[in-house]
Amino acid sequence: MNVAIICTALLGLLLFGLGLYVSILRGRFRRSIGHDFGPTDPIHRAVRAHANTAEYAPFFAVMFLWFATRPAPGWIIVTIVVATIARFSLAAGLLWGKSLNRPNPARFAGALFTYLSGLALAVGLVVA
């Protein structure tokens, strides 16, 4: 199977899995809407992880699928994998870091490699 399609599916699982996790937390804490804006509130953290994923995953999916339709150089495939890992890393950093107001390595690496891989893939589209 095509790596770009697998990575697109993984981003979909991440996005919808995080949405389900927000719903589960809302049920557990009996909070149908809103959340405490404290940096350690579990619903706030889950909402931020889901929202951040929803901001980036769709455009990554579009780029991944474009590259899936044609032969892509090896660096594109590697960049697609890096982008996917970055999105999972960022979500993990938001969910499991000590606090949202403190940086942590997973969140930093996830953000950095999201930007770098996104820019690289966009340049790849222009060059292709």
pLDDT by residue (tens digit) across 67-110?
999 999 999 999 999 999 999 999 999 999 888 788 899 999 99
- Could you please state the CATH topology (level 3) that the domain comprising 3-127 is classified under: Four Helix Bundle (Hemerythrin (Met), subunit A) (1.20.120)
Return the SS3 of 30. Answer: coil
Q: Going by C-beta distance under 8 Å and a sequence separation of 6 or more, which residues neighbour residue 29?
A: 42, 43
Which pLDDT belongs to residue 31? 75
Which pLDDT belongs to residue 61? 98
In this prediction the pTM is: 0.92
Is 123 buried (19+), middle (13-18) or exposed (0-12) by CB count in 10 A? Answer: exposed
pLDDT by residue (tens digit) across 3-54?
999 999 999 999 999 999 999 999 887 776 766 666 778 999 999 999 999 9
Task: Read off the pLDDT of each residue in 53-65 and give the average, rounded to a whole number.
Answer: 98
Distance CA 89, CA 110 (A): 5
Domain boundaries defined on the chain: 3-127
Return the SS3 of 69. Answer: coil
